[in-house]
Amino acid sequence: MARKNPNIVITGTPGVGKTTHAEQLARATGFQHLSVNQIVKDEGFHEGKDEETGSWIVDEDKLLDHLETLPLHTTGGYILDWHACDLFPERWIDLVIVLRCDSTTLYDRLTARGYKGKKLEENMDSEIMQVLLDEAREGYKEDIVVELRSDSAEDVEGNLERIEQWVENWRKDREG
Ligand code: DAT
């Protein structure tokens, strides 16, 4: 069945602005915001926390089984917000936004959130080495992966305008 609305992944290193973008985009489009980390926590799709980094050890099979029960691939209109993207089957996804952030800015955001030691270091390295961008490029067709900056509030505003325009075009293309 053809989807009426597109599904959009918003990914990037923790702190780049995924939640900020996903919440505002959900409000503007009426799409459903899926905070995957929240689902993992709420539904217990994990095997506890990694002792060193404090990150959830995700049970990907359970998570994927749960996502498959949602009308994601039939009706569409979901915004998937997660610091990984290689789990979502390509056939579900129409657009992958990879948010990027300046290192100094990200450092401030992560320390404000209480990240320190190995967790802070690993996430800073991940952003500098563009790990999520590479993951997105490896997992999806080149033309659906879009890298956007998220340093300032103006960036958020501009990005949202761009994504909303993209959604409108996506719909128009399918009407014709
Ligand atoms: P994520 O969901 O990627 O972990 P977030 O949306 O929770 O990130 O943002 C982390 C913090 O940084 C939060 O206090 C909001 C702020 N922030 C995010 N993107 C921003 C931007 N482009 N300009 C200014 N502040 C931003």
Confidence of residue 132 (pLDDT cuts 50, 70, 90): very high
User: Dihedral angle at the C-alpha atoms of 30, 150, 39, 75, nearest 10 degrees?
Assistant: 30
> Structural domain of residue 26, as residue ranges?
8-175
Ligand 1 within 6 A of CB of 15: yes
Nearest CA to ligand 1 atom 18: 17
Distance 175 CA to ligand 1 centre (A): 35
Are 78 and 10 contacting, i.e. CB atoms less than 8 angstroms apart? no
- Which ligand 1 atom sits closest to the C-alpha of 155? 22
Task: Examine residue 106 and state whether it is found in any structural domain, yes or no.
Answer: yes
| C-alpha of residue 23 to centroid of ligand 1, in Å | 11
Domain count for the chain: 1
pLDDT digits (tens, 9 = 90+) for 48-91: 998 877 788 999 999 999 999 999 989 999 999 999 988 999 99
Identity at 8, one-letter amino acid code: I
Confidence (pLDDT) at 85: 87
Q: Does residue 1 carry a pLDDT above 70?
A: no
**Cβ of 123 less than 6 Å from ligand 1:** no
Condensed to tens digits (0 to 9), the pLDDT of residues 98-121 reads 999 999 999 999 999 999 999 999
ipTM of this complex prediction, to 2 decimal places: 0.99
CATH of the domain at 141: 3.40.50.300
Question: Token digits for 175?
Answer: 């009407």
**Residue 52 forms part of a structural domain:** yes
132, 12 contact by CB (below 8 A) = yes
Ligand 1 neighbourhood includes 139 CB (under 6 angstroms): no
With respect to residue 1, please indicate whether it lies within any of the assigned structural domains.
no
The pLDDT of residue 176 is 65
